[in-house]
Chain A
């Protein structure tokens, strides 16, 4: 992967300006079709997920009170992990994207939601929703590309620090929620003197308060309650394990979204004067999906439909699966890569890139065996794309 504009073979060179605008209109139509049919069924879905998650959390925490008994420890730990994964991914991430704001329920709203994570909601919404989703995969603008501590693109300058990035990446994965909190605080920018001190101080207080509340809950209050049943140590271990497992899981899912081979990046100036069609195009070829079972999709917060999510970050997550075939079809008709693969394959691909790019480009190139790709030929020439007469894709 290198910035698209510098590639020998530019994967969007075959598209004319008209094609790109027509692609934009087709995607607008996909979006409109979901909005038109949003309703009670979707409301019931998110309410059910929230209910299941909270029920599971209570049940797991209650079970852990008896974790002196080993089976209760195992069941409670697994339950708490699943509950934390659901809470962060299918619920928290998506609610904070405003996917459910249309319900007008103040309890399930992007402006009121706070999640079970070290990063305070408002800081995360700024760095994720605003910066990452606006500047997806634009080198130098989207800090999600390597989180400022890794080099994940040939066009990022190599320095010896990057030799250790497989290790940084692993440590970041284990303590991902703290990594995200530090990232949302823009620590790097602060140390470089590019962040306003007063703003930093205010944000840092927020983060510290959030972390204190989170740590108190998982490592003081619940183990403390379990003192009464002699299960304090096991409860402490269970909470630590659940947080660790959740961190590893969310880190893996997120790596799969933009790091695997086949995903494109863009140069800083390439987004000047971007039209809606251009923006859609960048989201589409800058993201990658994970294929798998329904349970896997829910556990990833439907971020396994990363392409659909990046095209339409505010559509209810339960609808991504439904529109994925239409998006794939649009990709195929316009001769664009729709990157998708199984979870192990995408995780391996992302890790492979992290390891490879820890080396300078000339050494990295030796390690690079590009994934064998079926050449993508447009199945329909743009002239055959039926115009969208009534606002819907034909």
Chain B
């Protein structure tokens, strides 16, 4: 397998600009201080920014009743992706910027665009927004593609792909890129009903052409996949390099089955939505930079608990008005002691919270 060419070229550091350009840039910067020149460029073209990767939505295509494919033209600085990787996308929902990761599902595209396929999850603010309210022309925030769910450099001879629901999306990215160079692929895909199968036509066409062997399972009729059925469904599953993506319960079952069969190293899984720690009253606050844990009650501010435990924390008015105590919440939930509102961050979110009016709502990581 070869990785996407854009990625390899981008790995080289950009050549140092000519001295006259550097000087010209210094003058422009001096003219725009305290802002940066790009803050003004953003007024005209938000995709030109070098420091903030953004993309413009060029198409929104329905896949099923509750799933769409969003085609995004990435801005300057996009380094391309490897099939199977995901993309973190930031959109403003009700005025609040929220970030989620979605698998890139596009195959090779000559126009440089990428596609993500999103299924609306009930109660999922971002997925619902993307499926129902996203419009062509809108600008979204992006990060570089990331993720380890990619094929090894030497393509496996025999492959088994086990997917459930929207777990098909990274696998679709892999198939679209690489199916021509794969000899023997079995895809075991579960969805509640036939009409819920994302990319159904394309998958069935691949199967009809004999390029993959497809086993569709409709869980509303056949029930969930049981690992005990594997021997009957895919008799040679032990000989295959297996890639799986889907609901946490399915992945857990597969992992223990493969482990029990002493084949753990032949299974690669992709888990999308990490099970969020249950929110509760109080919890352990982990200060990541210090690598320290502090117990925090549900009724006292993290700032107080931290200071009592001897952690030197930034602070200010201590009543929520001066924002002198703001720190990034890397993961977990905190509760606003004034309003009871719970703020939850997924790993990497770095949502900034005021520690003087926030209590731990379950275990959480604070960047200090």
Kindly state whether residue B18 has any CB partner on chain A within 8 Å: no
| Interface segment out of the listed B152-160, B274-282, B321-329 | B321-329
Known: A97-B323, A110-B323. A40 touches B95 (CB 8 A): yes
Known: A54-B39, A116-B34. A40 touches B94 (CB 8 A): yes
Q: Are A43 and B95 touching (Cβ within 8 A)?
A: yes
Report the minimum CB–CB distance from B35 to chain A (whole Å): 8
Task: Report the Cα distance A103→B39, complex, angstroms.
Answer: 18
Report the minimum CB–CB distance from A126 to chain B (whole Å): 7
Task: Report the Cα distance A216→B316, complex, angstroms.
Answer: 32
Q: Are B95 and A38 touching (Cβ within 8 A)?
A: yes
The contact string, 1 if C-beta is below 8 Å from chain B, for chain A 198-234, is 0000000000001001101100111001000000000
Q: Are B95 and A222 touching (Cβ within 8 A)?
A: no
Known: A38-B95, A101-B352, A104-B351. A133 touches B339 (CB 8 A): no
Kindly state whether residue A314 has any CB partner on chain B within 8 Å: yes
Q: Are A217 and B30 touching (Cβ within 8 A)?
A: yes
The contact string, 1 if C-beta is below 8 Å from chain B, for chain A 41-74, is 1111000000100110010000000000000000
Q: Are B321 and A125 touching (Cβ within 8 A)?
A: no
Kindly state whether residue A313 has any CB partner on chain B within 8 Å: yes
Task: Report the Cα distance A210→B341, complex, angstroms.
Answer: 38
Q: Are A221 and B30 touching (Cβ within 8 A)?
A: yes
Q: Are A213 and B30 touching (Cβ within 8 A)?
A: yes
Known: A104-B97, A104-B98. A133 touches B322 (CB 8 A): yes
The contact string, 1 if C-beta is below 8 Å from chain A, for chain B 54-95, is 000000000000000000000000000000000000001011
Within 8 A of B (CB), among A125-175: 125-126, 129-130, 133-134
With a CB–CB cut-off of 8 A, which chain A residues contact B98?
104
Name the residue of chain B whose CB is nearest to the CB of A225.
B31
Name the residue of chain B whose CB is nearest to the CB of A40.
B95
Q: Are B324 and A125 touching (Cβ within 8 A)?
A: yes
With a CB–CB cut-off of 8 A, which chain B residues contact A42?
95
With a CB–CB cut-off of 8 A, which chain A residues contact B52?
107
Kindly state whether residue A102 has any CB partner on chain B within 8 Å: yes
Q: Are B352 and A109 touching (Cβ within 8 A)?
A: yes
Task: Report the Cα distance A213→B31, complex, angstroms.
Answer: 9
Among B52, B92, B322, B338, the one with the most A-chain Cβ atoms within 10 Å of its Cβ is B322
With a CB–CB cut-off of 8 A, which chain B residues contact A101?
323, 326, 352
Q: Are A103 and B326 touching (Cβ within 8 A)?
A: no
Name the residue of chain B whose CB is nearest to the CB of A316.
B95
Kindly state whether residue B25 has any CB partner on chain A within 8 Å: no
Query: Which single member of A41, A97, A225, A279 contacts B95 (CB below 8 Å)?
Result: A41
Kindly state whether residue A365 has any CB partner on chain B within 8 Å: no
Q: Are A221 and B31 touching (Cβ within 8 A)?
A: yes
Q: Are A130 and B322 touching (Cβ within 8 A)?
A: yes
Q: Are A129 and B316 touching (Cβ within 8 A)?
A: yes
Report the minimum CB–CB distance from A28 to chain B (whole Å): 8
Q: Are B95 and A313 touching (Cβ within 8 A)?
A: no
Report the minimum CB–CB distance from A309 to chain B (whole Å): 11
The contact string, 1 if C-beta is below 8 Å from chain A, for chain B 316-337, is 1101111110100000000000
Kindly state whether residue B232 has any CB partner on chain A within 8 Å: no
Query: Which single member of B33, B43, B95 contacts A217 (CB below 8 Å)?
Result: B33
With a CB–CB cut-off of 8 A, which chain A residues contact B16?
none
Kindly state whether residue A115 has any CB partner on chain B within 8 Å: yes
Task: Report the Cα distance A125→B34, complex, angstroms.
Answer: 16
Task: Report the Cα distance A261→B26, complex, angstroms.
Answer: 49
With a CB–CB cut-off of 8 A, which chain B residues contact A103?
92, 95-97
Kindly state whether residue A32 has any CB partner on chain B within 8 Å: yes
Task: Report the Cα distance A130→B354, complex, angstroms.
Answer: 14
Report the minimum CB–CB distance from A306 to chain B (whole Å): 15
Q: Are B43 and A51 touching (Cβ within 8 A)?
A: yes
Task: Report the Cα distance A111→B354, complex, angstroms.
Answer: 11
Name the residue of chain A whose CB is nearest to the CB of B33.
A213
Query: Which single member of B32, B317, B352 contacts A111 (CB below 8 Å)?
Result: B352
Known: A129-B316, A134-B317, A134-B322. A54 touches B34 (CB 8 A): no
Report the minimum CB–CB distance from A327 to chain B (whole Å): 17
Q: Are B322 and A114 touching (Cβ within 8 A)?
A: no
With a CB–CB cut-off of 8 A, which chain B residues contact A129?
316-317, 321-324
Name the residue of chain A whose CB is nearest to the CB of B52.
A107
Q: Are A314 and B323 touching (Cβ within 8 A)?
A: yes
The contact string, 1 if C-beta is below 8 Å from chain A, for chain B 27-42, is 1001111110001100
* Further pairs besides A109-B352, A213-B33, A221-B30: 12, Cβ < 8 Å: A35-B341, A40-B92, A58-B43, A97-B321, A107-B39, A114-B35, A129-B317, A133-B322, A134-B317, A210-B34, A217-B30, A217-B31
Q: Which 3 A-B pairs have the closest CB atoms?
A: A43-B95, A129-B322, A98-B323
Query: Could you jot down 10 A-B contacts, CB within 8 Å?
Result: A40-B95, A43-B92, A98-B322, A104-B352, A114-B35, A129-B324, A130-B316, A134-B317, A221-B30, A313-B321
Binding site for B on A (CB under 8 A): 28, 32, 35, 38-44, 51, 54-55, 58, 96-98, 101-105, 107, 109-111, 114-116, 125-126, 129-130, 133-134, 210, 213-214, 216-217, 220-222, 225, 279, 313-314
